[in-house]
Amino acid sequence: MSTALKVTDLAKSYGGKRAVDGISFDVRAGELYALLGPNGAGKTTTLRMVAGLLAADAGGISVFDVDARKDPLAAKQLIAWLPDEPLLYDKLTAWEYLEFVAGLWGVPPVSARAEAERLLKLLGLWDNRNDRCETFSRGMKQKAVLAGALIHEPKLLILDEPLTGLDAAASRLVKDLIRERVAQGAGVILTTHILEVAERMADRIGIIKDGKLLIEGSLEELRTQAGQQGQSLEDVFLSLTATLSAAEPEPAK
Partner 1 sequence: MSKPGSIPWLMAHELRLFWRRGKMRPKSGLILIGLILGGWLLLSFFLFQKIGPLIPPPPFLNGPGDGLALAAIGVMIGFIASVMTSGAILAAVDAIYTRNDLDLLLSSPVSPWRVLVVRSSAIAVGALPLYAGMLGPPLIWMAIFSSPLWLSAIVVLATLAFAATGLALLIVTGLFRLIGPRSTRVLAQIISAVAGAAVFLSFQLFNINSHGTGGMSQDEMTAMIAGLNIDPHVWWLFPARAFTGDIVSTGLWLLGVAMLFPLGVFVFSRSFVADAAAASAMGKRKRGTDARVAQVHGGVMQSVVRKELRLLARDPLLLSQIGLQLIYFIPLAFILIRPDRGIMLTEAAFAPALTLLAGTLAGSLTWITVSAEDAPDLLASAPVQAKTVDRAKFASAVAPVLILMATPVAILLVRDAWAGVWTAGGVIASAISAALIGLWRRAPGTRREFVRRRSKGTLMAGLGQALVAMGITATAGLGAYGLPWIAILPAIIAAAMLGALYKPAPSSVSAS
Q: Which residues bind partner 1 (CB under 8 A)?
A: 51-55, 68-69, 72-77, 79-81, 83, 87-92, 95-96, 98-110, 112-113, 116-117, 127, 129-132, 134-135, 148
In the complex, minimum distance from the CB of residue 115 to partner 1, in angstroms, rounded to a whole number = 9
30: left (phi over 0), alpha (psi -120 to 50) or beta: left
In the complex, minimum distance from the CB of residue 89 to partner 1, in angstroms, rounded to a whole number = 5
In the complex, minimum distance from the CB of residue 68 to partner 1, in angstroms, rounded to a whole number = 6
Residue closer to partner 1 (CB basis): 14 or 100: 100
In the complex, minimum distance from the CB of residue 51 to partner 1, in angstroms, rounded to a whole number = 5
